[in-house]
Amino acid sequence: MANKVKEAWKAGKAVVNGWLAIPNGFSAEMYSQCGWDSVTVDMQHGVQDYLSCVSCFQGIQLANGPTPMVRVPWNEPGIIGKVLDAGAYGVICPMINTAAEAAALVQYSKYPPQGTRSNGPIRAGVYGEAGGYQKTANENILVIPMIETKTAIENIQSILDVPGIDGIYIGPSDLSFSYGKTPKLDVEDSEILSIYEMLLKECGKRGIAAGLHNGSPAYANRMIKMGFKLVTISNEVGIMMNAATAAVKTARGE
């Protein structure tokens, strides 16, 4: 089965990405029906482990639902291989700071000869042509390093030149932190916004999609207009809490 996010990017379209912190297949099932283009299981900062990731994937219902992706905890071949075997169509990996780290991420995510991923797609193999998963996995799976430090910005051209990188994903809080600023999502700081512009320009030169984590839908829409091709809005916990808080205040007449 083709990667719908990859197809959207080829067509020049932006995708809106959901974010799952709750380790529960039912909530993932319900959330995935809200119109997202893709939904990402957050194994880094979310309350997710490998079994809950599999459960969330089962809830997402690939055939008619959004594209399932994962933010792995770290750039490590064991967990990257396992989430791909579970059926992830994209791997977002935190704290990629050098071209060597980016190359390692590609290597861990691809089957030979492009990489060193071990063969055993226990769940992923059920999609696509019977027995054909290994033939299309290298092409279908998105490899997306996170750019979220000053070091990564200093090395950005060499990182983006690594073969096999499909997109980047900016972590605004850590990026702001790295520059000595207050960590936050929807930044208005001119220095950080100028970095966004530079990243969009460098990605555009290479046909690489740029993604960004956002705190609000309005800011996400603004970033799409700025040129980002993947925008995440908070996570399901944040959206649920905001909606619940507003409901309680409305009920009390506050």
- Residues annotated as catalytic are 45
Q: 236 CB contacts (<8 Å, ≥6 apart)?
A: 18, 19, 20, 21, 22, 27, 31
C-alpha–C-alpha distance, residues 253 and 64, integer Å: 40
| Contact status, residue 32 vs residue 59, Cβ threshold 8 Å | yes
C-alpha–C-alpha distance, residues 98 and 152, integer Å: 6
For residue 182, give the amino acid letter: T
Alpha helices in the chain (DSSP H): 4-10, 25-31, 50-60, 77-86, 99-109, 133-140, 150-154, 156-160, 172-178, 190-206, 217-226, 236-251
